[in-house]
Amino acid sequence: MSAPSPAPKLPVSLAANPKLSSWVKFIGEGRVAVSPGKVEIGQGIVTALAQIAADELDVEIGRIDMIRASTAASPNEGVTSGSLSIQQSGRALRHACAEVRQRFLAAASERLGVDASLLGVEDGTISGPGNIRTSYWELSDHVSLDHDAIAGIVAKSSATRSVAGHSVQRVDIPDKVFARSRFIHDRALPGLVHGRVLRPDVSGAKLIALDEGLAGAVSGLVAIVRDGGFAGVVADSEAAAEAALKALRKGATWSAGEPLPDENGLAGFLRSQPIETTVIDTKAAATAKATRTLRRQYTRPYIAHASIAPSCAMARWDRDQVHVWTHSQGVYLLRADLAIVLKVPPANIIVEHMEGAGCYGHNAADDVALDAVLLAKAAGGRPVRVQWSRHDEMSHAPFGAAMAIEIEADLDADNEIVGWRHAIWSNGHAARPGRATQPALLAATEIENPYPRMISTNPPAANGGGGDRNSVPLYDLPAWTITSHRLLTMPVRTSALRTLGAQGNVFAIESLLDEIAALRGEDPIAFRLRHLRDERAREVIRAAARRAAWKPERRSGIGHGVGFARYKNTGAYCAAIAEIEGTDEIRVRRLTLAVDVGEAINPDGVVNQIEGGAIQVTSWVLKERVRFDQTRITSTSWTDYPILTFSEVPAVDVEIIQRPEIEPVGAGEAAHGPVTAAIANAIHDCLGIRVRDLPITRDKIIAAMELAS
C-alpha cells in the first residue's frame, strides 16, 4: 500500500498573504493588475512574474500592469533577496492566478449555461461551443476575489504553458531606452525639496558640536536639521543643498572615531576577534587512514556594492503620517524599522517601492530612506528627496564581509580525500532592517537617543546560511567538519552582499579540490565527476566541459580552470570554465557556463543574470577590495575602487539546461562562486601558482611566484 499523499499546501508567500485580490485584480477595460510583494532591482523579476501570470490567466502579457510593491496594499513577501523571488513570488502567483482563472470559469459556466470543462480562455475572453462568450472584465463585478486562496489548485502543466519558458522581452526596458522616468532618482513629486546629510570621514566618529552659521546663510536653504549626532540640510534645489552641506561640514566638530583593522592583515584580524562558533555540519569519519594533511587558508576582502547610482529616497509627512518612496529590497521590513525609530505605529507609515539602480544586496537604500524621513520633518509637509554622495555610498553603506577560510584535507597514500575540515572566520553576512527589536538603519545610530550599530548575524542554515553558505561540500567526501566563527565585533560595517559567504566558500573548496586533483595527476573535471552523485550537478559540469571543448590543448600563456557549485546547495546548479591569459597581469578571455535553474521562466533573463553575475564576480576577483587606513575608508571614488571596464570584460557563453518539469529557482547568485574558482584554477593552469587571497592582482601573482621559486 502506498503512503497517503500529504495534504496540499499553499505556496509559502500565498499562505502568508492568502487573499487573492491582494495578488490579482481585473481593472479598467481589458487590464489586469498583478501585485507581487517582490521588487524590481534590475534583475528582470517583474517580467518573469508577469509571464507566470499571463500563462495561468491566459491573457496577453501586454494587458498586465505590474504594480510596484507598497505597504499600502501589496502582499508582504519580506525581502527581495537570496535568488528566491521566482521560488516565492512566482509560485504564489502561479497558484493564485490558476485559482482566479478557475473561479471565473465557474462564473462563466453559470452565466452561459455551459459546463466549465467546455469553456476556454483566450486573452481574457472566455468562450465555448456555439460562439458563446464573455470575459474576465464582463464578469469581474460578479466574481469576488476577496477570498483566501485554497490549497490543492492545479496550475497548468509545463507542456501547456505558452509564455513561461520563453524569452519574453523585459517590460521595463523600453522606458529606460526612451528616457521615460522609472528610477526614483528621476521622479519629481510636486513641491519637492532636497536634503543632504552630514556624515563623518573618520569611521565611527560622532558629531559633538555644530556651528550652523555658515550653512544658515546659504541661499535656497529651507532648514537645518539636528537630532543628536544626526545633522542635515533641506534646500529648494540640489545645488543649494550641496552648498549648505559643504558649509555645514565646515562647522562640524567630530569625536576621534574607532580604529579600523590593518587592510593588509585581514586574516590575522578576523582570526583574532571575539567570536561565536557554530558547527555547521559533521559527517562521521570512516576508517581510512590519512597519510598527510593539506592545510590551506583562503581570504576574500570587504567588497562594496558600488551601484552606479548612489542611494536615494523621498519622504513626505502629513501630520503624524509619513509616506516614503524607496528602492529598498523590503518595503515592510523598512517600515518596521522606521516605526521603531519614529516611535509611531507601522500603520502611520506607507513605504512604496520605486526602482533604483542595480541592487546586489543590502546597500544604503534603507539608510537613505530614514535620512529622508528625518529631514522631511522640517519641510512643512513638502516631500524631501535625499540622494547620497558617491563618497558616502562607498564608505557608509554596508559592505560584503571579509572572510578567512581554512580547509584541512586529510589525504591517504593515493591522495584520495579521507577527511575534510572547513573553518570560516567572518563577520555575519546580514544586518538587514525589520528583523530585530533594534533598527539596522544608519541614522538610528546617530540620533539623540541612538541605537547601537547592529552587529551582523548569519541567516539560519535552513535559509542557506550566511558566512557558512555553500561551505558544506556537495561532493561525496567520506568525512567532514564544517565550522563557522562569527565575529562579535564589527569595525567595518557589513551586511548582505550577493551570495553572502558562498563566493568565498566555493572559491576555497573548488581551489583545494583542484589542487588535490593536480596532486593525483587527475583531470579536474573527472575528479569532480567521480565525487558527485547528483545527476543535475554532473550534467552542468559535463555541459560546460562540452561547450568549452574541455580540455583545450595547452598553449603558452593561456590557462583553463573549472569551478562548480549548487547555490546554497538547494538552488541553481552552475559550472564555469575560465580561459585566461597572463603572466603577471591576468586577463580573463572567456567564461563558459552551464546552469540548471529547473524551469527557466524567461531563458534570456536567466542568461542575462548568469552573464551579469559572471562579469561582476570577474571584477571582484581581479580588482576589488574596500581600502582603508587606520581611521577611515579610503576607497570612496571609482579611482580608488576600480571595477572591470568594457575592454576588460571577458566573452561569456551560457548554456541553460531546461528542466520545465522542475520547480524554478533564481539565477542571480549562481555564477559568483564557480567563476571565482574557475579563474583561480585557470591561473594555476597557466602559471603554476595558487593565489589564495582575493583579489588576484598583479602584486599577489608576483608574490606567489616569488614564494614558488
**Binding span for other proteins by CB under 8 A among 106-114, 180-188, 256-264, 433-441:** 180-188
**Binding span for other proteins by CB under 8 A among 411-419, 485-493, 603-611, 689-697:** 603-611
Q: Which of 377, 321, 234 is nearest to 335 (CA)?
A: 321
**Cα–Cα dist 484/482, whole Å:** 7
Select 359 or 594, whichever has its Cβ closest to other proteins.
Answer: 359
Q: In what order do the strands lie in the sheet with 120-122?
A: 120-122, 125-128, 132-135
Residue 307 Cβ, how far from other proteins at the closest point, in Å? 6
Q: Any contact of residue 201 with other proteins (CB under 8 A)? A: no
Residue 353 Cβ, how far from other proteins at the closest point, in Å? 14
Select 121 or 394, whichever has its Cβ closest to other proteins.
Answer: 394
Site for other proteins in 616-635 (CB under 8 A): 616, 619
Selected binder of other proteins within 14, 39, 41, 108 (CB under 8 A): 41
Q: Any contact of residue 309 with other proteins (CB under 8 A)? A: yes
Count how many residues are written for the chain: 709
Q: Any contact of residue 478 with other proteins (CB under 8 A)? A: no
In the DSSP assignment, the letter for residue 693 is B
**Cα–Cα dist 679/662, whole Å:** 30
Site for other proteins in 245-304 (CB under 8 A): none
Handedness of CA 65, 71, 73, 75 (dihedral sign): positive
Q: Any contact of residue 589 with other proteins (CB under 8 A)? A: no
The type of residue at 32 is V
Cα–Cα separations (whole angstroms), residue 329 to 173, 346, 458, 518, 558? 20, 18, 18, 43, 41
Selected binder of other proteins within 367, 611, 655, 685 (CB under 8 A): 611
Select 161 or 672, whichever has its Cβ closest to other proteins.
Answer: 672
Selected binder of other proteins within 178, 448, 521, 709 (CB under 8 A): 178
Q: Any contact of residue 7 with other proteins (CB under 8 A)? A: no
Q: Any contact of residue 398 with other proteins (CB under 8 A)? A: no
Q: Any contact of residue 1 with other proteins (CB under 8 A)? A: no
**Binding span for other proteins by CB under 8 A among 38-46, 458-466, 472-480, 554-562:** 38-46
Q: Any contact of residue 511 with other proteins (CB under 8 A)? A: no
**Binding span for other proteins by CB under 8 A among 79-87, 335-343, 353-361, 523-531:** 353-361
Cα–Cα separations (whole angstroms), residue 45 to 51, 98, 528, 577? 10, 20, 33, 27
Cα–Cα separations (whole angstroms), residue 171 to 50, 65, 174? 9, 10, 7
Residue 397 Cβ, how far from other proteins at the closest point, in Å? 13
**Binding span for other proteins by CB under 8 A among 71-79, 184-192, 317-325, 531-539:** 184-192
Cα–Cα separations (whole angstroms), residue 472 to 477, 487, 511? 10, 20, 15
Select 14 or 312, whichever has its Cβ closest to other proteins.
Answer: 312
Q: Any contact of residue 688 with other proteins (CB under 8 A)? A: no
Contact 293, 409 (CB under 8 A): yes
**Binding span for other proteins by CB under 8 A among 52-60, 154-162, 246-254, 648-656:** 648-656
**Cα–Cα dist 514/537, whole Å:** 17
Select 65 or 648, whichever has its Cβ closest to other proteins.
Answer: 648
Residue 161 Cβ, how far from other proteins at the closest point, in Å? 21
Select 48 or 119, whichever has its Cβ closest to other proteins.
Answer: 48
Site for other proteins in 355-384 (CB under 8 A): 355-360
Question: Is residue 313 helix, strand or coil?
Answer: strand
**Cα–Cα dist 438/424, whole Å:** 27
Selected binder of other proteins within 30, 183, 348, 538 (CB under 8 A): 183
Residue 146 Cβ, how far from other proteins at the closest point, in Å? 35
Selected binder of other proteins within 389, 481, 569, 631 (CB under 8 A): 389
Peptide bond into 695 cis (omega under 30): yes
Judged on CB neighbours under 10 Å (0-12, 13-18, 19+), 36 is buried
Residue 489 Cβ, how far from other proteins at the closest point, in Å? 30
**Cα–Cα dist 384/193, whole Å:** 5
Residue 185, all three cell numbers: 532618482
Q: Any contact of residue 682 with other proteins (CB under 8 A)? A: no
Selected binder of other proteins within 643, 657, 703, 705 (CB under 8 A): 643
Coarse DSSP helix, strand, coil percentages of the chain, rounded to the nearest 5 percent: 30, 25, 45
Q: Any contact of residue 217 with other proteins (CB under 8 A)? A: no
Q: Which of 606, 609, 362, 607 is nearest to 494 (CA)?
A: 362
Q: Strand runs (DSSP E) across 395-459, as ranges?
A: 403-411, 417-426
Q: Any contact of residue 43 with other proteins (CB under 8 A)? A: yes
In the DSSP assignment, the letter for residue 326 is E
Residue 536 Cβ, how far from other proteins at the closest point, in Å? 25
Select 621 or 701, whichever has its Cβ closest to other proteins.
Answer: 621
Q: Any contact of residue 83 with other proteins (CB under 8 A)? A: no
Cα Dmax for the chain? 87
Select 439 or 612, whichever has its Cβ closest to other proteins.
Answer: 612
Task: Give one DSSP letter per residue of 228-251, joined into a string.
Answer: TTEEEEEESSHHHHHHHHHHHHHT
Binding footprint of other proteins on the chain (CB under 8 A): 41-44, 169-170, 172-174, 176-179, 181-183, 185-186, 188, 237-239, 306-310, 355-360, 387, 389-390, 604, 608-609, 611-616, 619, 637-639, 643-647, 649, 651-652
